[in-house]
């Protein structure tokens, strides 16, 4: 049975033990205002080299500023995580970023990703946000996951987040 609870600071390194393995056959690109699916093959075996070292300080900073971190545990093993930023973005300052959502290969398609997403959405709504912003990996499965949950292409693309991840698909999830 999987239990979800808030992550503690000393558990943050465990995030990088989540099994991201996935064979990707198709990837979306945002071209001329539309999502275009193209065949691209990637055999993802874990985190890209250097990514944990690069992103870990950003996660620590987010936690120390008051971001929200949920961990899904199967026994003692962290198998999923959702992270919601606490600082508002967008021209209306009414949007919170879903900074991170990953689920281990062994527990995908069990509803865990949806449960973690819902926790972040409930928290964002309770804080008065109108939307959640998602910078999604462009793989077909990930894009479809967010679309299934009701995410749509972002009306207002966050310039800073786009510069950090220009290949990502930038979504928003309307909370009200």
What does the pLDDT look like over 87-124, one tens digit per residue? 999 999 999 999 999 999 999 999 999 999 999 999 99
The CATH homologous superfamily of the domain defined by 2-174: Gcn5-related N-acetyltransferase (GNAT) (3.40.630.30)
What does the pLDDT look like over 32-46, one tens digit per residue? 989 999 999 999 998
Whole-prediction pTM value? Answer: 0.95
What rounded mean pLDDT belongs to the chain? 96
| Confidence at residue 8, expressed as pLDDT on a 0 to 100 scale | 94
* pLDDT above 90: percentage of residues in the chain: 95
Quick check: 168 pLDDT over 90?
Answer: yes
Residues in the chain, how many? 176
Q: Are strands 68-74 and 34-44 parallel, antiparallel or unpaired?
A: unpaired
| Confidence at residue 176, expressed as pLDDT on a 0 to 100 scale | 76
Half-sphere exposure (CA, 13 Å, Cβ side) for 41?
Answer: 0
Q: Among candidates 165, 98, 105, which has minimal Cα distance to 138?
A: 165
């Amino acid at each position: 049975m999987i239990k979800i609870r808030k992550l503690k600071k000393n558990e943050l390194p465990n995030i990088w033990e989540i099994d991201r393995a996935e064979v990707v056959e198709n990837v979306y690109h945002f071209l001329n205002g539309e999502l275009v699916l193209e065949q691209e093959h990637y055999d993802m075996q874990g985190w890209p080299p250097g990514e944990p070292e690069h992103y870990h300080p950003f996660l620590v900073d987010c936690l120390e500023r008051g971001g929200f971190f949920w961990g899904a545990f199967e026994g003692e093993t962290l198998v999923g995580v959702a992270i919601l930023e606490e600082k508002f973005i967008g021209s209306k300052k009414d949007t919170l970023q879903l900074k991170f959502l990953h689920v281990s290969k062994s527990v995908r398609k069990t509803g865990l990703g949806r449960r973690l997403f819902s926790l972040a959405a409930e928290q964002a709504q309770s804080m008065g946000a109108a939307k959640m912003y998602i910078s999604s990996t462009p793989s077909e499965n990930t894009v479809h996951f967010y679309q299934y949950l009701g995410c749509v292409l972002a009306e207002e693309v966050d310039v800073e987040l786009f510069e950090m991840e220009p290949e990502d698909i930038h979504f928003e999830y309307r909370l009200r």
